[in-house]
Structure 1
Amino acid sequence: MKKIKPHFIKYGAIAFLSAIALILLFFLSVYFGAWGALPKKAELSDFKYQRASEVYTADSVLIGKFYLFDRQPITFEDFPQHLLEALVAIEDQRFYNHSGIDYTSLMRVAVKTVLMQDQSSGGGSTLTQQLAKNLYPRRDRKKTNIAVNKVKEMIIAARLEDLYSKEEILTHYLNTVSFGDNVFGVESASLKFFNKRTIELTVEEAAVLVGMLKATYGYNPRVFPENSLSRRNLVLQSMYSNEFISESQKDSLTEIPLTLDYKEYDHNSGLAPYFREEVRKQMLKWAKAQKEEGNDYNIYTSGLKIYTTLNYKMQAIAEDVMKGHMQSLQKSFEKSYGNNAPWKTDKNLLEKLAKKTPAFQKLKKNGLAEKAIMDSLARKKKMTFVDWDGEKSVEASVLDSIQHYMKFLNTGSLAIDAKTGAVQTWIGGVDFEHFKYDHVAQSKRQVGSTFKPIVYTAALEIGIEPCTYFSAQEVEYKNLKGWSPSNSGEKDEAYLNYSMEEALSNSVNTVAVKVLEKTGIENVIVQAKNMGIFSELPRQPSLALGTGEIYLNELAGAYASYVNGGKAVYPYLIQEIRNQKDSILEHFEPKRARKRAFSEENRQIMIEMMKSTINSGTASRIRSSYKLNNAIAGKTGTTQNNKDAWFVALTPKLVHVTWVGLDNHEIGFRSTSLGQGANAALPLFALWMQKLNKDPEFDEITKAQFKRPSFSVLDKLNCEPVKRDGFFKRLFKNPNKKKEFRTRNSKA
C-alpha cells in the first residue's frame, strides 16, 4: 500500500481549512448584513402580522372578511393536540430537541441531497427556519441566492429560539404559514376547507391541512383531491411512526374518504354580498373618523370583529327565495316580449346604452368617430355570458354583451326590525359579482302606490275622516297639460264613491290624487319628512301616485312608524365593533325619530286600512294564493309603464320592502298583470314568510299579533266601503267625460 505523500496531506489540509474559512467568512458576511440587514432581537420580539377583519351575523356566524392577506391568528390553546403532532411528525421530527437548526438533518441533506443527488431525501429546514421564512419571505429566488437565504433563515431561527418558547414558535408558525390562494394561517385554512374552527378539526382533517404545507397547490384538496388524500395518509403514517397514534387508529383514519365543506370568503360570493359591501363602506367611514380622533384602525389589517344585525337563517332563506322567484319571473318576462323585445329591435336604445360604456368613452377620448367606435364595439371575441342557467363561453361583441345584460330583471329587498331598524335581511340585487349596483342603499326609484299611505296619513292628521267619500271619476288637470290620472277598475267607476279605506286597499289612483288635493301637497311633504323621508319630493299632484324617487331603506324606515308607535326608525347594519382581543371599541344604538309623526289613533286607522289591502285589496293573494294567516298589513305599488314593482309588508315585528324592475329605466314589463307589485314583488315576501312559518325558531315573529284597535278607531272605520251615485246623479252624469279641474297645489 502506497503511503500518502506529506505534501498531499499538507495541501489537503490547507484546502479543507480554506473551505472552512470561506464558509465561516460567508456566514459572518451574512450575519453582519453584507447580503442585507437581518432583523434584530428587538424587532423579532415585537413583530406584528396583518390580520383579517371578520364580519359576523347577529347570531355570531362568520359571513365575511376584509383583508389584504386572509389571516386570523389564534392562541396555542386553540390548536388541537393532534394538529401539533401531525405538524411535528411530517415537518420536523426533532423540533423539541433542537435550538432552531437541526444539524442531523443538515448532514443528511449534505450527503444525500447534495453529494448523492437524492431529491427524495427531504429538506433540512426546521419549523423555526420555516417561521423565519414566513416572517421574512425570500425576495430573490435565484439559485445563486439560495445559500444566502438559508443562512439568513438559520440565524433568524436561532434568534427566535432565544426569544420564544417552543409553544410560541408553533403558534407563530401556524398563524403565518401560507396555504395558497392568499390564505395564511391554519384558522383561515380550516374555515375555508372545512367550514369549522381549528379547535374543531378531526385528526384526518388536520392531516389534510398539514399535508398541504409541502406544496399548497399540488396538495390542494379542492383542486387535486387524489394528491391530497395520498399526502394526508402519508402524514398519518408519520404520526404512527412517531408514536402519536396507534396502528389501528392509522388504519381506520386512512380509510376515511376525503370530505370538504369548502367555503370561499370571497368578496363576490357567499351569503349577503351586498350587505357585506355596505358594511365595508360604513366601516371605512368609521375608521376614518377614528383616525381623526387618534386611533389608527385599518379594516383590512387590524383584525377587527364586526358584529352586524343580520339574521343568518332569515338571509339564507331570503336569498334562496329570491333566486327561485326571479329566475321564473325572468323567463315569463322574456317570453312576454317574444321577438319584439326592445333589446332585440330597438337600435336607438342599444346605441344610447353603448355610448355610456367605458369602452365607448375610451375610444371617443382617443379621437375616433362615432361610426368607427360602433364598428369597433361590434367586433366579436371570446366572452363569458352569465344567466340563470350559469356561465357559458361565447363569441360576442360589446354590443352583444349590452343586449344580453340589458334585459335582466333586478331586485332589492330589505327586512328590518320594526322597533329598532336593525337589518334582518338585505338583498341588493340578483348577483353581486355581475351586478354591483345595490338597489337597497344606492338606488332611488319611483315608489308608485306605496307612497299612498303617507298621503292618507297626512289627510287623517289634518282632520279628514276615514269614512269621507271620494268620487272615482277621472279628472283632467287643465293647468298640468291635461294630465289625467286613471284607474284600471270597473267600467262604471265614474259612478262610485270610495271610503278612504276602500280606496287605499284597492289602490284607486283618482281618489289618491283627490285626497292629496284636499290635504294639500305641502302637508303631505311635511308628513313624509316627519316619517323619515329625506329625499326631495316633487310638488305635483302626481306625488300621490308615487312619482317621487325614494331609497328602499328610506321607505322601510318610514313604514316602520306604523308599527313603532308613530316614530320612524333608521335602518342600521352594525351592532358592535371589537378589536382582536375582543374588547368593545364601539357599540351602536338604534336610531329613532324623536317625535311621533302622527297620532296613536291615526296609526291604528292606517294599520287597519293596510290590513284591508292584504285581506281583500290588491295584495289579497297573500291570503288566497299563498295561504298566509299571519298578522300582516301592507301596500302594493306599480309605477307608470310597469317599470317598478313594489310591495311593503308590515308585521308586528318586521317591515319588509321589495322592489323588482330593470336597471335600464327605458324598459318595463310588457303587461301590468306580469309587472304589477302583487305579481312581481309580493312573492318575494310571501314565499319567504311561508318558510319562516315552518321554522319554530321564528315563532316569536310569525305568530305575533297586532294589538286590537280601540273602539273609537273601529267606530270611525264603520261605514260602507263604496257608495254608488243615486239614480238622478247617474242620469245626468256622463261617465266618459272627464271632469275638468285646476290644481291649486302644483308649483309647475
Structure 2
Amino acid sequence: MRKGFWLTLILLGIIGAVSGGIFAEAYTRDYRLRAGTYDLERINELEEPSIILDRNGKEIGRIFVQNRSVIPIEQVPEIFIKTLRAGEDSRFLTHHGVDYIGIVRAGILNAQGGNQGASTITQQLARNAYNLKEEAKQRKETTIQRKLVEAFLARRIEDRYTKEQILNFYLNRIYFGSGFYGIRSASLGYFGKEPMKLTTEECASLVTLIKNPNARSPLNNPEVNRTGRNYVLGRMREEGFISSSELARLRALPLRLNSQPLRRGTTHLYERIAEAVGLALGEDALASGKFKVHTTILAEAQNAAQQALLDSLEKAEAQPGYTHPKYRDYRKGSPKPAEYLQGAVLMIDHDTGEVLAHVGGRDYAQVPYDFIELGKRPLGTAFFPYIYAAGLSGGQTPASLVEDEPMDNRAVMVGGREGILGEWGMEVSSPVYEGKIPVRKALENSKIAATVRFAGATGLQRVVDTAVSFGLPLQKAELLPRLAVGFEEVSMKQAVRAMTTFPRGGQSGPEKLVYLDRVENSQGRVVYRRQRQPQPTRDVIDEATAWQVHSMMVGSLFRGSSKGVLDGMLEKNFSGAGKSGTTHDFADTWFIGYNKRVTCGVWTGFLGNDGAIYPGAFGRDLSMPVWQKTMNAAAPSFGGGQLTPPDSVVEVNVCTVSGERATQFCQQHEENVNTGMIQSRSTAVGEYFRRGTEKLPFCSIHSGGTSEGGAPDITALNLPALDAVPVRPKEPTLIGDDPYHTEVPSFAATSAEGGFVRHRTNVLDSLDLTDIEDGIPLPRPRRLQIDDE
C-alpha cells in the first residue's frame, strides 16, 4: 500500500512537471523566438547617433555620446571585477546567463518586503545593448514578459561569447550617471584617475551606481553614494573578497572625489545643441540616440562662417610680423597648450533670438574652450557706437563739431605712457588730423582722439550708463578716459545683443539665444517643441538716436574705416550697417554688423593676453571679411528688406566742413593732380536730426563768416560764381541814425576795421534767395555813428 502511494505521487509529479513544461514551452515560445531575432554581431555597437538638422532640414552633423572611452578588459583591475560580482552578480562565473538561484533568493526577499533584483550581468548587457526596456514600452509588455526576452537572449549571448568578452562589452557600455558611460569615463569623471588606479572603496562607489545612476551619483548625492558604497563593501565581505577588518576600515573612509571628466570631441556648436537637448529632455536623453534634432542653425551661414574664419586666421599667421605659435605647427596630443590665434562667429535673428551660426573657436578637438560662451575681450573701437549714442541722446547731433587734433597719450593711458595717442581705429597706417570735424565724420572714420574728446564732452558717467543700458557689463568700470577706446572686456553674446538695438529702433535685442526648434524620437514622434513666444523687450535709447548712430555706421561702410566691405556684398542696396573694432595693442579685432533681420559678430585674437596679433592687425583685415562672407551666405534666406528712418527724425542738408546748414556755396576746390585744373565738389550732405533740433544757422565758412570780434569776415567769403568786387567806403553809407535797424547781409564784405563794404549791384541781382528758409543768417545789427566834427 505504501509503495503504491509513492508510485502514484511520483507519477503525479512527473505528469505535473511535464504539463508545466508543456505550458511553459507554449507560454514562452514567442519570447524565445523574439530573443532569437537579435543580431549578436551588433552587441558591441555602443551608440547610435542623433542627427542634427538645420532650420531647413539639412543634415549638419551627428551627435554621439562621446564622453565614453572604450578600453580592453586588461585595463580594468581585478578588484573592480570582484566588486562588480559582489554587487551585481556573485555567480557570474558559473551561471549560463540566468541565475536561477538568484531568482529564487530575490523572490523570497521581495516577498518579505524587500526590493531585490535578479538580473545577471549578461541580462543587463542584453537589456542595454538592444534597448529592451524601450521596446517593451512600445509593445506594452509587463516586466515579466520583458525579463523573459532578456533571459533567453542572455543564454544566446553566453553561447556565443566568453565570460571575459561579456565583461568587456558590459564595462564599456554601462551608464554610471552624471553623463559618464563606461568604466574609464566614470573613473575619470568621479575620481580623476585611470581605472587601474582605483582603490577598493572607489570601485564600490562606482558599482553601487549601476542600480540607480543619477540618484546615487557622488557628485549629486555624496551621502547616498557612500551608503551604497558601504553596502557593496559588505557584499564583498560576504563573498570573501575582503576581510572583516578591511571592511571596517574601508567603511570608515570618507568619499574623496576629483572630477576630471572626458570631453566630448565634437564641435562647439554640437556642445551647445547637446546642452540644449539636455535641458529640454534631461541629461541622458541623447544616450539612446536615434533622435532628429531640428535646430535654428542656417547651414549655409554656419559653413561659411567656419571656413571664412579658418581662412582669415591662416592669412594672419602668414603675415611677416606674426611671431606667435601657428595652428599648422600644433599636433594633437602635444603636452604644450594650443596657444595659436583663435576666432569666433555668432549670427542671430535679432527679433527671435534664433542662432543661425555659432563658431566658438578654431578647432574643438584641440581647444574645447567656447569663446562665445565663456570668453571676454576688449571691444576696442567697436565700442564707439555706444559712446556716440550717449552723446546724441544727450542733445548733440551728428553735425556737432569735435576737435580732431593729436592728443597726448598720457590723457588716456593705454599702451605706452608717452607720445601721441595712436589712431588705430581709422584702420590706416598714416592717419590725418583735420581740426574741427562733424561728429559723423569722427565715427565714420573711427577717429580716436576726436572720440575721446567727444566722450569727455558727453560725460564718462553718461557713457557708462548708456553702455550698461545696451547690456554691456560696465557697471564697475572706472571713469577713466581709457574706457572711450573700448578698454573694458565684453563677451561675444553681449556685443552682438548690444548691436541689435540699432536695427531694432532702440529696442533691446533678445536676451535668450535659441538653438532648438524641435526634437523627434526614432519613431518620428515630436518629444520637444519650443514655444514660439516673443521675447520681452525694453527701451534702450530713443529711435531717433538709434537711427542717427545707424546712419553714421552706414557712412563708415561707404566712405569711412570700413569702406570696401559693400563691394563684395551679395545683398545689393544693402541697408544695414556695422562697425569694425581694433584694440590699442592690436591683440583683438572685431566686426559687428547687421541687416534688417540678422546681426552677426566676428572676433579674432588670443584667449590669453599674448600681445599684438601682428603690428597693424586691423579689424577690417581680419574680422570684416569673415563677417562679409557669413552675411552673404545668409542673404538668400535672411536678406532683403530696408531699414527706414523713423518719423522722429528729419533730414537736413548740412556742410561737412562747418556742421551748419548747407548753402549753394558749400564747395571745396581741389586740384586735379593729372590735369592741374581746379575742380569743385560740394560739401553738402543730408544729415538726420531729431525733429525739433533741425534749425541750424547757415554755413558760416562757405557763405560768409565772422571774425573773432563778431563782425563779418571777408576772408571767409567763398563765392566763386559771383562777379563781386569789394569796394571799401571811406565814409559811412548811412547818414544819421538807422531807425529801422537795417540788417546788412552776412555775405557783404567788411574792412579790417569792421566797416562794411559795398558789392557791385549785379552781385545782389544774381543771387537767388527764394529757396533759403528764413533768409540768410545775419550778424547782430548795429547803428552807425556820425562824428560831431
Matched to 1:705, the amino acid is Q
1:679 matched to 2:615: no
- Counterpart of 2:654 in 1: which secondary structure? coil
Conserved? CA contact 2:590–2:602, under 8 Å: yes
1:669 matched to 2:613: yes
Instruction: Select which of 539, 556, 561 maps to 2:501.
Output: 561
C-alpha separation in 2, matches of 1:684 and 1:565 = 26
Q: Structure 2 matches for 1:285-296, cutoff 5 A?
A: 285=279
Conserved? CA contact 1:639–1:645, under 8 Å: yes
Bigger radius of gyration, 1 or 2? Answer: 2
Map of 1:90 onto structure 2: none
Q: Structure 2 matches for 1:130-209, cutoff 5 A?
A: 134-135=126-127
Map of 2:752 onto structure 1: none
1:652 matched to 2:588: no
1:391 deviates by 6.2
1:318 deviates by 2.1
C-alpha separation in 2, matches of 1:412 and 1:69 = 24
Map of 1:278 onto structure 2: 272
Structure 1 residues 322 and 722, CA, compared in 2 at 3 Å: closer, same or farther? farther
C-alpha separation in 2, matches of 1:54 and 1:491 = 52
Map of 2:423 onto structure 1: 487
Instruction: Select which of 604, 626, 639 maps to 1:702.
Output: 639
C-alpha separation in 2, matches of 1:578 and 1:625 = 37
1:574 deviates by 2.9
Structure 1 residues 590 and 670, CA, compared in 2 at 3 Å: closer, same or farther? farther
C-alpha separation in 2, matches of 1:627 and 1:298 = 41
Map of 1:115 onto structure 2: none
- Counterpart of 1:278 in 2: which secondary structure? helix
Matched to 1:564, the amino acid is R
1:624 deviates by 4.6
- Counterpart of 1:533 in 2: which secondary structure? coil
Structure 1 residues 53 and 586, CA, compared in 2 at 3 Å: closer, same or farther? same
Q: What runs of 5+ residues in structure 2 fail to find an aligned partner?
A: 1-13, 39-45, 69-121, 131-146, 154-168, 174-262, 660-667, 669-700, 709-789
Map of 1:60 onto structure 2: 57
C-alpha separation in 2, matches of 1:134 and 1:158 = 6
Moved more, 602-611 or 570-579: 570-579
Whose helix fraction is larger, Structure 1's or Structure 2's?
1
Structure 1 residues 633 and 134, CA, compared in 2 at 3 Å: closer, same or farther? same
Structure 1 residues 658 and 137, CA, compared in 2 at 3 Å: closer, same or farther? closer
1:98-134 per-position Cα deviation (integer Å, ceiling 9, x unaligned): xxxxxxxxxxxxxxxxxxxxxxxxxxxxxxxx99984
Instruction: Select which of 427, 440, 448 maps to 1:509.
Output: 448
1:475 deviates by 3.6
Map of 1:720 onto structure 2: 656
Instruction: Select which of 379, 388, 392 maps to 1:460.
Output: 392
1:447 matched to 2:379: yes
Matched to 1:706, the amino acid is L
1:447 deviates by 0.6
Structure 1 residues 533 and 297, CA, compared in 2 at 3 Å: closer, same or farther? same
Structure 1 residues 417 and 491, CA, compared in 2 at 3 Å: closer, same or farther? closer
Map of 1:633 onto structure 2: 577
C-alpha separation in 2, matches of 1:479 and 1:565 = 35
1:189-220 per-position Cα deviation (integer Å, ceiling 9, x unaligned): xxxxxxxxxxxxxxxxxxxxxxxxxxxxxxxx
1:668 deviates by 1.5
1:603 matched to 2:546: yes
1:394-429 per-position Cα deviation (integer Å, ceiling 9, x unaligned): xxx84xx45xx43x2211111111222211111111
With CA pairs under 8 Å and 6+ residues apart, which has the higher RCO, 1 or 2? 1
Structure 1 residues 480 and 647, CA, compared in 2 at 3 Å: closer, same or farther? closer
1:303 deviates by 6.7
Structure 1 residues 511 and 713, CA, compared in 2 at 3 Å: closer, same or farther? farther
Conserved? CA contact 2:48–2:64, under 8 Å: no
Conserved? CA contact 1:605–1:713, under 8 Å: no
1:46-81 per-position Cα deviation (integer Å, ceiling 9, x unaligned): x9x9986554322234433253799xxxxxxxxxxx
Structure 1 residues 451 and 588, CA, compared in 2 at 3 Å: closer, same or farther? farther
Conserved? CA contact 1:51–1:69, under 8 Å: no
1:498 matched to 2:495: no
Q: Structure 2 matches for 1:211-290, cutoff 5 A?
A: 267-269=264-266, 273-285=267-279
Q: What runs of 5+ residues in structure 1 fail to find an aligned partner?
A: 1-20, 33-38, 71-129, 139-154, 162-177, 183-265, 289-295, 344-385, 730-748
Matched to 1:608, the amino acid is S
C-alpha separation in 1, matches of 2:125 and 2:568 = 64
1:529 matched to 2:468: yes
C-alpha separation in 2, matches of 1:467 and 1:473 = 18
Conserved? CA contact 1:521–1:541, under 8 Å: yes
1:504 deviates by 0.5
C-alpha separation in 1, matches of 2:150 and 2:291 = 33
Identity of aligned residues (%): 17
Conserved? CA contact 1:645–1:676, under 8 Å: yes
Matched to 1:703, the amino acid is G
1:552 deviates by 0.7
1:542 matched to 2:450: no
- Counterpart of 2:342 in 1: which secondary structure? strand
Map of 2:314 onto structure 1: 327
1:373-394 per-position Cα deviation (integer Å, ceiling 9, x unaligned): xxxxxxxxxxxxx94499699x
